[in-house]
Amino acid sequence: MFFNRTNKSQNKQPCTRCSILRLYFSAIFLLVIIYVLFGEKVSYLSFVNKITGVYIVFGFGGIVLLYRVIEWYFFLKEPRKSD
């Protein structure tokens, strides 16, 4: 349900950007709820800050970019036709 939201009247899939934002905000909300409920018991989550988030996002983005380039080069690229 969370990933596959559709508009029943138009039969359209949601945009990818909306799904990613929904996941991001849900993860942030979950971290806040965990902190409020457990307080000092989750001190091992103290490494979660802006810098760590940037490293995680850029690292994940780099891995996806590398995967996409390799996928394009080996599987999707049309071979050159020599005359």
Chain segment 25-55, per-residue pLDDT in tens: 998 898 888 888 888 787 777 777 888 888 9
Q: Are residues 66 and 29 in the same domain?
A: no
Q: Residue 36: is it exposed, middle or buried by C-beta count within 10 angstroms (0-12/13-18/19+)?
A: exposed
Radius of gyration, alpha carbons of the chain: 20
pTM of the model: 0.48
The residues, any chain, with a CB within 8 Å of residue 2's CB and separated by 6 or more, are 22, 26
**Whole domain around residue 35: which residue ranges?**
1-42
Q: Are residues 2 and 38 in the same domain?
A: yes
pLDDT of residue 27: 87
Q: Are residues 55 and 35 in the same domain?
A: no
Cβ contact 1:14 at 8 Å: no
Outline where DSSP puts E strands in the chain: none
- Say whether pLDDT at 65 is over 70: yes
E strand or H helix at 77: none
pLDDT of residue 4: 55
Number of domains in the chain: 2
